[in-house]
């Protein structure tokens, strides 16, 4: 049976952080990012959710208007206080763990540190369904070798930042132009930008206010936006339609017209009475449960019920996808038990009665933690 999917799903070396004021630990037991390990011209926008929700709505509007990727770090207490907002965020963007109650962890006992991290993850998952692992951000950037080791032992990677917008300071940090200039001064491949969804003590929401201008400024300099989960999982596999692991008949055309595409282009076809599928070949290391995501450029003339088929250990599971929306981001198709081996496991069929072009662009699987 086909089920319908319209909204985007949830798609995880120390340095002294610019503007953080926190010295780097003298030794590290786990990996930490203050910049993504990439030479691509991409920026990772990250938003901490630990205060209130004053900036959530305008932030999501701004990101959605430009189809910009981002990653959100939630505390368990914030998710409990704002469950509707937490669910809305996790339905469209990757979510990381920011502890349960946002304490200074270096002053906590090891048992308390572990409890903060595990309780935060449990609460966030119970409310949103999102798995936060392996993304973790220390409250206040307060970490040392001990707390880094504790987070690493729980399966997390510490995510710091390249630049802090200082929006959390409110108007004393300057206005929109000051915030944008601060980010652009540190602009580089893999830059991680720290922002906040809550209001400052003066009730301003500078990060939310400045975000539309910031997005335009970054894009104008030839940079795109990425999520942290694009660089995390060793059990993650991404297949683009431009590779040899994609297959489609000559009835599928190729285009680079839509700028929301993943990679150099995407394939398209008209609905037909025959399946004639576009297929993605996956190399599954071991039979296990995997989260499956798809990505496509969206447009009003595309198909509202594109049939995606996932070959599982118990047969093909089908899901209908509305390709008129959620363009330029990873959309969660579902959790499936995939068989080990190297074979075509995901297909997009042309057999649908819904009008509009069917799009085949990119496919991703991530082994479930």
pLDDT at position 64, please? 86
Distance separating alpha carbons of residues 129 and 91, to the nearest angstrom: 9
Residue count (the chain): 369
Asked if residue 115 belongs to a domain, the reply is: yes
* Domain identity same for 166 and 34: yes
pLDDT at position 2, please? 36
161 three-class SS? coil
Q: Report residues of the chain scoring pLDDT below 50.
A: 1-30
* Domain identity same for 38 and 93: yes
Asked if residue 26 belongs to a domain, the reply is: yes
pLDDT at position 344, please? 95
Structural domain including 41 reads 8-231
Show which of 181, 212, 231 is a domain's final residue.
231
In this structure, what are the phi and psi dihedrals at residue 221, rounded to the nearest 5 degrees?
A: -95, 15
pLDDT at position 12, please? 26
Distance separating alpha carbons of residues 172 and 151, to the nearest angstrom: 33
Q: What is the CATH number of the domain that holds 189?
A: 3.20.20.370
Asked if residue 2 belongs to a domain, the reply is: no
Asked if residue 189 belongs to a domain, the reply is: yes
Distance separating alpha carbons of residues 245 and 278, to the nearest angstrom: 11
Asked if residue 3 belongs to a domain, the reply is: no
pLDDT at position 253, please? 97
Residue pair 161/46 in contact by the 8 Å Cβ criterion: yes
Asked if residue 1 belongs to a domain, the reply is: no
* Domain identity same for 134 and 48: yes
Distance separating alpha carbons of residues 338 and 205, to the nearest angstrom: 44
Distance separating alpha carbons of residues 183 and 160, to the nearest angstrom: 15
Residue pair 235/325 in contact by the 8 Å Cβ criterion: no
pLDDT at position 25, please? 36
Q: What is the CATH number of the domain that holds 308?
A: 2.60.120.260
Name the DSSP class of 302. Answer: B
* Domain identity same for 306 and 335: yes
Task: Pick left, alpha or beta for residue 341 (phi over 0 → left; psi -120 to 50 → alpha; otherwise beta).
Answer: left
CA end-to-end span of the chain: 27
* Domain identity same for 105 and 223: yes
pLDDT at position 285, please? 74
* Domain identity same for 265 and 225: no
Within 13 Å of residue 357, how many CA atoms lie on the same side as its CB?
Answer: 20
Strand partners, 279: 247, 347
Distance (Å) of CA 129 to CA 91, 151, 233, 332: 9, 21, 19, 12
* Domain identity same for 280 and 307: yes
Show which of 187, 215, 231 is a domain's final residue.
231
* Domain identity same for 278 and 160: no
Asked if residue 179 belongs to a domain, the reply is: yes
Strand partners, 308: 319, 348
* Domain identity same for 21 and 62: yes
pLDDT at position 22, please? 38
Distance separating alpha carbons of residues 178 and 158, to the nearest angstrom: 28
Distance separating alpha carbons of residues 338 and 314, to the nearest angstrom: 9
Q: Determine how many CB atoms are found less than 10 A away from the CB of residue 145.
A: 15
In this structure, what are the phi and psi dihedrals at residue 209, rounded to the nearest 5 degrees?
A: -65, -40
* Domain identity same for 196 and 227: yes
- Digit-coded pLDDT (tens) for 254-278: 999 999 999 889 999 999 999 999 9
Show which of 185, 204, 231 is a domain's final residue.
231
* Domain identity same for 329 and 257: yes
pLDDT at position 79, please? 97
DSSP assignment string, 183-224: HHHT--TTEEEEEESS--TTS--HHHHHHHHHHHHHHHTT-E
* Domain identity same for 25 and 66: yes
311 three-class SS? strand
pLDDT at position 234, please? 52
Closest CA to 332 of 315, 308, 355: 308
Give the per-residue SS3 of 313-365: CCEEEEEEECCCCCCCCCEEEEEEEECCEEEEEEEECCCCCCCCEEEECEEEE
Domain count, the chain: 2
pLDDT at position 4, please? 34
Q: Determine how many CB atoms are found less than 10 A away from the CB of residue 93.
A: 25
Asked if residue 208 belongs to a domain, the reply is: yes
């Amino acid at each position: 049976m086909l089920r319908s999917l319209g909204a985007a799903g949830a798609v995880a070396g120390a340095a002294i952080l610019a503007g953080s004021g926190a010295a780097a630990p003298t030794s590290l037991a786990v990996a930490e990012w203050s910049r993504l390990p990439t030479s691509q011209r991409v920026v990772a926008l990250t938003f901490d959710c630990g205060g209130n929700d004053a900036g959530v709505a305008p932030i999501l509007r701004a990101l959605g208007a430009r189809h910009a990727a981002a990653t959100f770090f939630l505390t368990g207490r914030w998710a409990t206080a704002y469950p509707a907002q937490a669910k809305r965020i996790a339905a469209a963007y990757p979510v990381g763990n920011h502890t349960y109650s946002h304490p200074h962890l270096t002053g906590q006992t090891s048992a308390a540190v572990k409890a903060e991290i595990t309780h935060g993850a449990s609460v966030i998952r119970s409310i949103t369904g999102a798995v936060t692992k392996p993304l973790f951000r220390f409250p206040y950037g307060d970490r040392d070798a001990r707390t880094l080791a504790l987070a690493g032992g729980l399966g997390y990677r510490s995510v710091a930042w390249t630049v802090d917008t200082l929006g959390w300071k409110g108007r004393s940090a300057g206005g929109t132009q000051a915030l944008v200039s601060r980010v652009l001064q540190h602009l580089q491949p893999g830059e991680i930008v720290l922002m906040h969804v809550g209001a400052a003590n003066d009730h301003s929401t500078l990060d939310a206010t400045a975000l539309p201008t910031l997005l335009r400024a970054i894009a104008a300099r030839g940079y795109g936006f990425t999520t942290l989960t694009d660089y995390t999982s060793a059990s993650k596999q991404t297949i683009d339609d431009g590779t040899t692991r994609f297959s489609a008949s000559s009835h599928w055309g190729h285009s680079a017209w839509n700028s929301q595409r993943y990679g150099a282009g995407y394939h398209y076809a008209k609905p037909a009475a025959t399946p004639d599928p576009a297929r993605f070949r996956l190399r599954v290391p071991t039979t296990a449960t995997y989260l499956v995501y798809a990505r496509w450029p969206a447009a009003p003339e595309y198909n509202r019920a594109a049939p995606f088929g996932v070959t599982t250990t118990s047969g093909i599971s089908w899901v209908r996808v509305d390709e008129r929306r959620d363009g330029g981001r990873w959309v969660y198709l579902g959790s499936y038990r995939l068989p080990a081996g190297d074979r075509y496991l995901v297909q997009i069929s042309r057999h649908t009665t819904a009008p509009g072009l069917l799009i085949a662009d990119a496919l991703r699987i991530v082994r479930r933690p």
